[in-house]
Amino acid sequence: MRLNALTISQPHCGGSASRICVSPSLRQYVLDIGAELPRRPGLRHQALKGGDVLSAKRTRDERRHREEFEFTALAKESLRFCPKAIWKPADSTCSARTSILIAMLSIVIFCRNCVAGGWVVSSPLLLARRLALVALAFLIAGMTGRLPGQTLPALATVGAVRTLTPDQARQARPVRLTGVVTALSGWKNSFFAEDSTAGISVHRTDNADVKIGDRVEVTGVSNAGLFAPVILASYVRVVGHVPLPPARRVKYSDTFGGQEDSQRIEVEGVVHSARFSKLFEHDILLLKVELGGGEMTAMLQTFAGIDSGRLIDSTVRVRGVCSISFTQKRQFVGLAMFIPNPGDIDIVQPANVDPFAVSATPLGSILQFGQAPHRVKVAGFVTYQIPGHELYLQNGHDGIRIQSSSNELVGAGMRVEVVGFPAAGDYAPTLKDGIFRVAGSANPIKPLRINARDVIANKGGFFQESFCVRQRISSFWSMPRG
């Protein structure tokens, strides 16, 4: 058996050189590894064309600066015990037992050569160098456990994909798993799938027709996604149709931070608003639901027969697939949910048929002790309006700000009735998602005369009230609307 030799010279290390004798295939593998490693300045790599390892007489000083490391038997054993790992590294994995065997063989070769006189231990320093070469053999043995281009084992569960870090997921780890389609996102032909471990978003390059409830086999690779790990599927095969997995009941605090992304969940809350919109060119019904701690946007993809107005202020229980709003830095900023059909919405407590058919709450009593999480009715006179954004009311010495998307113009002094959801503002309670109707003609409002020092010192509670003050203007600036 003819052997090739690889000589590595290190001039910066006193001219010492190491000579490794390997079989042609193992030599090529070593060269492939060397090609992937960064070159160090002053390091010269030279591959001899061939020939048996030359034996020559060397002086004692030469032996201290030059080592011969024979791998003849090591190469033969590696080819015999792990042939595919040497000749076809992309087709198989060299087992850990084989790596240990290679390391043990290198120790046997070292001891054999010492006993046979092949390596003469002339000094403790030379012995240390010989032992260092044995450590190198262990390193090479460990490297054979995973050769360049080797295919990693396929991930067989959604949970295994979701535990990958972003860097790991970007390595396109192979994925082959079976799950149930829980929702269609509407973006191209992607969907959400869930198995017994977790749920995940599946982006696709194939065109197989899938429906909610289909049991599918997914073949593809991992990807970091824009927020959480996803699967890039190259092949999807429908193998059956099954009921959807039960939705897990969660609270808003459980979803904070995006931990429930792509999971089928159930939440309960009060609907604050309902409007029709488009998502990826598909018509959807958007419901803003207050969960008691934070808001969620529920996206109803099929809404035939739904009276959206009747849902507002109703306490509902909804089931669907959790989706996350995030920044370009993969940071959680909001919560949403894909709801496949109207049957996933249960009304726990219906809203009043006529929201204005309730008694008015005094402006100064909003968000006092015992306030229910439903909308309230207030009445007062308009002092200021930004159409499509907000409306200010005053009644007596109490005022309030109402957030409203209505573009209906209302003149100052008009009496209106408003229903909306109480919320804590920056300085005083406000009403969110308000709707209003005109209840009387214009009435002049006499502004309250106050002292500017009292406003600056926050004396008197003049928030959201109409007032007048007599002072000299020293400077002014304009603020953008919206």
CATH code where residue 162 lies: 2.40.50.140
CA dist 173 and 164 (Å) reads 10
286 and 183 housed in the same domain: no
pLDDT of res. 297:
95
- For residue 40, the SS3 value is coil
Identify which of 96-105, 231-240, 387-396, 459-468 has the greatest average pLDDT.
231-240
pLDDT of res. 89:
35
Evaluate whether residue 27 is within a structural domain. yes
pLDDT of res. 40:
42
300 and 379 housed in the same domain: no
Whether 112 has a pLDDT exceeding 70, the answer reads: no
Is 382 in contact with 412 (CB distance < 8 Å)?
A: yes
Calculate mean pLDDT across residues 446-468. 59
pLDDT of res. 290:
95
**pLDDT-derived band at 257, boundaries 50, 70, 90:** confident
53 and 80 housed in the same domain: yes
Q: What token pair was written down for 3? A: 């052997």
Side chain identity at residue 351, one-letter code: A
Calculate mean pLDDT across residues 160-182. 96
CA dist 84 and 450 (Å) reads 90
Q: What is the pLDDT of residues 67-101, one digit of tens each?
A: 444 444 444 444 444 433 333 333 333 444 455 55
User: Which H or E run contains 34?
Assistant: helix 24-36
CA dist 231 and 421 (Å) reads 41
- For residue 28, the SS3 value is helix
Of 283, 287, 239, 284, nearest to 267 by C-alpha is 287
168 and 132 housed in the same domain: no
Evaluate whether residue 149 is within a structural domain. no
Evaluate whether residue 150 is within a structural domain. no
422 and 383 housed in the same domain: yes
Query: Domain boundary at 209, 224, 241, which?
Result: 241
Q: What is the DSSP letter of 401?
A: E
287 and 337 housed in the same domain: yes
Boundaries of domain holding 391: 363-468
* H-type alpha helices, 72-123: 72-81, 83-87, 96-116
110 and 201 housed in the same domain: no
Whether 183 has a pLDDT exceeding 60, the answer reads: yes
Q: What is the DSSP letter of 418?
A: E
Half-sphere exposure of 244 (CA within 13 A, CB side): 24
pLDDT of res. 187:
85
128 and 18 housed in the same domain: yes
Is the model more confident about 160 or about 68? 160
pTM: 0.64
**pLDDT-derived band at 412, boundaries 50, 70, 90:** confident
371 and 393 housed in the same domain: yes
341 and 395 housed in the same domain: no
Q: What token pair was written down for 449? A: 């005369």
Is 337 in contact with 331 (CB distance < 8 Å)?
A: no
User: Which H or E run contains 144?
Assistant: none
DSSP E strands in 242-343: the ranges are 248-249, 264-279, 282-290, 295-300, 315-326, 332-339
